[in-house]
Amino acid sequence: MYEAYWGLTDKPFENTPDPRFLFRSEELEDLYTRLLYTLQSRHGAAMLSGDSGCGKTMIARSLLHELDPSRTEIALMSNPCRDGDEFLREILYQLGDEITTDLDRQRTVHRIHEIVYEAHAQGKETIVVVDEAQMLQDDSIFEEMRLLLNLQLDDAFLITLLLVGQPPLIESIRRHGGLDQRIATRGVLRPFSDEDTRTYIDFRLKTAGREGAIFHPEAIDLIHQYTSGVPRKINNICDIALVIGYSRKLQGIDADWAQRLIQAERGDGA
């Protein structure tokens, strides 16, 4: 809608997990490296937590894109499971196996083991990614995670587990000591600082093809204050700003327009 007007090839502030738009701040760079190392080196389990809108799913998808698809089997789980049996059946389904309603736990576990060992024999690693993991409640699920991580060779885990979720996930894992001890890497995503917000907006625009700034420094300051540095909120207000800027034929987004848009978003002005 507004891309050509602003000299863009893509929309820069979409809230979709497109790895091209992953902004690696200095803090995130170290965490990203540690997480990727855990996934590539079969070190057991990793956990990524953070408040809603901070980019957890984006990072998880970007990590998966780094892996060689010809050497990786991935079970990507994005819906919460009610208990351990359902959790195991979902893993089996995500790994491409046929599911029957009369498959009991023992047979499900045996089939997962067969698939994992077969993948290893073919030179492939198996990674289970659990998104929105803070929604998992039943203790049996965490126990099944622990048992899956017992699938090991002398020098590596046969299943690598990546848990992604909001802060309550941290406490859930702590309550299950056996699983907690198997978390090789853990990290917490935090909202951006004011400087990171500025760099983030510039990075997104440049990635989408823009040469030169659109948002004035004072406008970015207001956006940071309004969003508290949460990437999803930054994306929302910046996207609206580009739409309105296009409709009004503005040359850029200054502090006055940023304030108007923020007030409109809050519902206390237009």
Of 156, 91, 183, 96, the closest CA to residue 128 belongs to 91
Location of structure tokens 């890497």 = 185
Helix ranges, the chain (H): 3-6, 26-41, 56-66, 84-94, 105-121, 139-148, 168-174, 177-180, 194-207, 217-227, 231-248, 255-266
How does pLDDT run along the chain (270 residues), one tens digit per residue? 899 999 999 999 999 999 999 999 988 999 999 999 999 998 899 999 999 999 999 999 999 999 999 999 999 998 889 999 999 999 999 999 876 566 789 999 999 999 999 999 999 999 999 999 999 999 999 999 999 999 988 777 999 999 999 999 999 999 999 999 999 999 999 999 999 999 999 999 999 999 999 999 999 999 999 999 999 999 999 999 999 999 999 999 999 999 999 999 988 754
Of 228, 221, 206, the closest CA to residue 256 belongs to 221
Q: Are 79 and 141 in contact (CB under 8 A)?
A: no
* Distance from C-alpha of 119 to C-alpha of 114, rounded to nearest angstrom: 9
Structure tokens at 204: 């997104």
Q: Are 45 and 224 in contact (CB under 8 A)?
A: no
DSSP code at position 69:
G
DSSP SS3 for 12: coil
* Structure confidence at residue 269 (pLDDT): 53
Q: Are 105 and 85 in contact (CB under 8 A)?
A: yes
Left, alpha or beta for 25 (phi > 0: left; psi -120 to 50: alpha)? beta
* Structure confidence at residue 79 (pLDDT): 85
DSSP SS3 for 165: strand
Report all structural domains of the chain as residue ranges with CATH numbers, in order of start: 3-13+192-266 (1.10.8), 26-189 (3.40.50.300)
Of 126, 116, 130, 133, the closest CA to residue 77 belongs to 130
* Structure confidence at residue 101 (pLDDT): 61
pTM: 0.92
Q: Are 172 and 139 in contact (CB under 8 A)?
A: no
Handedness of CA 254, 255, 257, 258 (dihedral sign): positive
Location of structure tokens 């990793």 = 46
* Structure confidence at residue 100 (pLDDT): 58
